[in-house]
Every structure is written in C-alpha cells, then in structure tokens.
C-alpha cells in the first residue's frame, strides 16, 4: 500500500509526572530521555511527538512508551493522521509558526 496522508501517523505522548523529590525528578527525567531515544521530539515541555509511516510502526512505539510508564503521574498517548496533523495551526504569541517538516520516506519499487 502506498503511503498517504491518512495512513501516515503521528504519535503524541502527553505527560505530567511528579517532580517534588529528587527521586521523582530522576524518574521523570529518565522517562523523557527514553522517549527521546525512541525517536520522539519535544513539541512542548510535556508533549512529545513521533512520525510513523504506518499503524504497525506506530503500535511498536506506543508499546515501547507503555513499557516505560512510571508508577506515578499522568500519561496520555494519542495517534493522529498526517492529514489531521497538517490541519494544526501553531502560534508563538500572535505570530504563526510553520509546522514541523514531515520526514521523507524512501519508497523502493
């Protein structure tokens, strides 16, 4: 199946982890570093996103995040299509900002 804007997905991870103690800060930092290592990029302070070329690829990364979940905190995982992601409007103050580039997928015939 050829790639299209309805098959390509973005996985978003939202989290609010406790950081009151040194141990909690360490756990939160480890979670953040591990999702970065898995290819997620920071969108906002506690929102990370990753481009996935298919549902199967997205499921792999979602399962990796689930294995990293700490004992405490609130974590959400959301998947949206590339088409939905492309309809987002971003602003810094009143200035509109361009969306992040979609990684290019090499297709072999």
- Is 16 among the annotated ligand-binding positions? yes
First to last CA, the chain: 12
Contacts 24+ apart (CB under 8 A), 63-68: 64/38, 65/11, 65/13, 65/35, 65/38, 68/31, 68/34, 68/35
Q: Are 17 and 73 in contact (CB under 8 A)?
A: yes
Binding site listing: 16
Binding site listing for Mg(2+): 16
């Amino acid at each position: 199946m050829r790639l299209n804007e309805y098959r390509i997905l973005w996985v978003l991870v939202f989290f609010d982890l406790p950081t009151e103690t040194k141990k909690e800060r360490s756990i939160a930092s480890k979670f953040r570093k591990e999702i970065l290592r898995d290819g997620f990029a920071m969108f906002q302070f506690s929102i990370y996103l990753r481009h996935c070329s298919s549902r199967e690829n997205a499921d792999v990364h979602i399962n990796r995040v689930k294995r990293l979940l700490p004992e405490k905190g609130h974590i959400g995982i959301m998947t949206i299509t590339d088409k939905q992601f492309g309809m987002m409007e971003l602003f810094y103050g009143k200035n509109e900002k361009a969306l992040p580039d979609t990684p290019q997928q090499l297709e072999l015939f």
